[in-house]
Each structure stands twice: as structure tokens, then as C-alpha cells.
Amino acid sequence: NAGVTQTPKFQVLKTGQSMTLQCAQDMNHNSMYWYRQDPGMGLRLIYYSASEGTTDKGEVPNGYNVSRLNKREFSLRLESAAPSQTSVYFCASSLTGYEQYFGPGTRLTVT
């Protein structure tokens, strides 16, 4: 039982490049989330998916897109990376209304 897994763990991009962050959970949770964590800003929600087939914007969605591929997987795409997207990205999952469980994070640097 791996919980929430994220790939890659680290990534360096040049401005304008694109990439997809992958997230998977094996806890049969229906809701999944993407957050970013920045010093002094705390954790902020980018997008979430309440259930398979649905996605909604969070607090800071600009510059990102998401795909809920199936119940297990929720990916985050940066179409044209910008230095302001340098951050640590966390994926989380939960049964609706219950505890959220977090992955280990992806540390992204955009130069």
C-alpha cells in the first residue's frame, strides 16, 4: 500500500518548457488535489477533482491544467513554465469530507 505517489521528485525546466507532474493513489479515494507550497505563502490549492470525471479550479489555477485520468491518477500540466512557478508541488487524496493524505512532493525549479 504505497499511499500517494508523485513523479518526478525533482525537475528543472527552462522558461517556456512544458511538463506534466504525475500523481497516483491506491487508497480508493474519490477526491484528489494539487497544491503548491511557497515560503511565506503556505500551501495553496491549484486544482482539485471531487470525483472521477470532474475537476475544479482552486485558489491559484492560472498557468496550469489538470487531468483526472481515472480514479487513481490525477496529473498537473504546466504548458509554458514561468519562473513564478518555481515551487514544491504536492498531490493529495481523500474520501470526500475526510482526512487528506499527501504525497512526498515534486520540487520544481524554472530558470
Partner 1 sequence: KQEVTQIPAALSVPEGENLVLNCSFTDSAIYNLQWFRQDPGKGLTSLLLIQSSQREQTSGRLNASLDKSSGRSTLYIAASQPGDSATYLCAVRPYNDYKLSFGAGTTVTVRA
| Between 48 and 110, CB nearer to partner 1 | 48
Query: Cell numbers 479550479 label which residue?
Result: 57
| Shortest CB 81 distance to partner 1, Å | 22
**Which positions touch partner 1 (CB under 8 A)?**
4, 31, 33, 40, 42-45, 48, 50, 56, 58-59, 90, 92, 96-105
C-alpha triplet 96, 100, 106: angle, nearest 5° = 130
| Shortest CB 51 distance to partner 1, Å | 10
